[in-house]
């Protein structure tokens, strides 16, 4: 099993309810294929083999699990929930009972690995759609959902104003810096400010 200490730490530091869920998901991924390697990206655990396979995350009240190429996978057993930016593909996971049966999840993980082995690529986004589709990171969506005022302002912002905040957060070199920026983002948004408000006359 290719495990790393950072993922151990991530699980230990998660909310109490999340620890058994994350442990279970992690074990299933490695059970599905012993060649899987763990990485931390965007402050959450990712599982890689010949490219990204899947990822998991924990929040205050739920966990999320998603497949990198979920849009290319056949959802044979209907386990994928409505695709929302904040949830991953299995919806909000609050207890082990919310997960599909182990053998089904393992089959899906193996299918995702097969896509990587077959070198199947996600369709390239054309420039026009790439500009329209701004990917808001899960941790930001989560924080905004806890802060209705900031969320309302963010939703009404233009794509370029949203992008300013997202890029600022994503460019943070350390988790501490990102957390600081996230707090500042929420304060500024609640005040209706754009990321560049200081520089605007």
Of the given ranges (78-92, 142-156, 186-200), which has the lowest mean pLDDT?
A: 78-92
What per-residue confidence (pLDDT) applies to 82? 61
Cα separation, 28 vs 18, in Å, equals 15
Query: What's the mean per-residue pLDDT of the chain?
Result: 88
pLDDT at 197 over 70: yes
- Residue 83: pLDDT over 80: no
> Half-sphere exposure of residue 28, counting CA atoms within 13 Å on the CB side?
24
The CA-atom distances, in angstroms, between 155 and each of 81, 151, 163 are: 23, 6, 12
Most confident stretch, 20-34, 73-87, 126-140: 20-34
Q: Model confidence over 112-140: pLDDT tens digits?
A: 999 999 998 887 765 554 455 678 888 89
Distances (CA, A) of 170 to 2, 21, 72: 26, 26, 26
Residue 193 burial (10 A CB sphere; 0-12, 13-18, 19+) = middle
Range with the lowest mean pLDDT among 53-57, 110-114, 151-155, 185-189? 151-155
User: Which residue from 68, 66, 67, 57 is spatially nearest to 143, judged by alpha carbons?
Assistant: 57
Per-residue pLDDT, 85: 45
Judge contact between 67 and 49, C-beta under 8 A. Answer: no
Token pair in block for residue 113: 């690995």
pLDDT at position 20 is 98
For residues 65 and 90, is the Cβ–Cβ distance under 8 A?
yes
Q: How far apart are CA 161 and CA 200, in angstroms?
A: 13
Identify the band that residue 180 occupies on the pLDDT scale cut at 50, 70 and 90.
very high
Per the CB < 8 A criterion, the answer to whether 20 and 97 are in contact is no
What six digits make up the tokens of 27?
A: 């074990």
- 44 strand-pairing partners: 41
- What is the average per-residue pLDDT within 170-199? 90
Domain boundaries, the chain: 5-117, 127-199
pLDDT at res. 81: 78
Mean pLDDT across 172-195: 91
More confident residue, 106 or 44: 106
For the domain bounded by 5-117, which CATH number is listed?
3.90.1150.200
Mean pLDDT of 137-148: 86
């Amino acid at each position: 099993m290719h495990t790393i200490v950072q993922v151990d730490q991530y699980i230990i530091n998660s909310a109490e309810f999340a620890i058994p869920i994350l442990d279970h998901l992690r074990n299933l991924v490695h059970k599905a294929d012993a060649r899987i390697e763990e990485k931390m990206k965007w402050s959450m655990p990712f599982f890689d083999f010949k490219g990204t396979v899947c990822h998991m995350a924990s929040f205050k009240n739920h966990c999320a699990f998603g497949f990198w190429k979920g849009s290319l996978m056949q959802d044979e057993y209907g386990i994928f929930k409505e695709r929302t930016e904040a949830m991953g593909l299995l919806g909000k996971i609050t207890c082990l009972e919310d997960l599909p049966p182990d053998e089904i999840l393992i089959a899906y993980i193996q299918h995702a690995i097969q896509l990587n082995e077959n070198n199947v690529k996600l369709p390239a986004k054309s420039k026009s759609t790439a500009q329209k589709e701004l990917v808001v990171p899960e941790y930001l969506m989560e924080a905004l959902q806890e802060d209705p005022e900031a969320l309302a302002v963010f939703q009404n912002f233009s794509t370029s104003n949203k992008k300013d905040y997202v890029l600022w957060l994503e460019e943070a070199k350390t988790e501490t810096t990102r957390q600081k920026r996230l707090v500042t983002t929420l304060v500024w948004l609640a005040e209706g400010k754009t990321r560049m408000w200081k520089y605007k006359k």
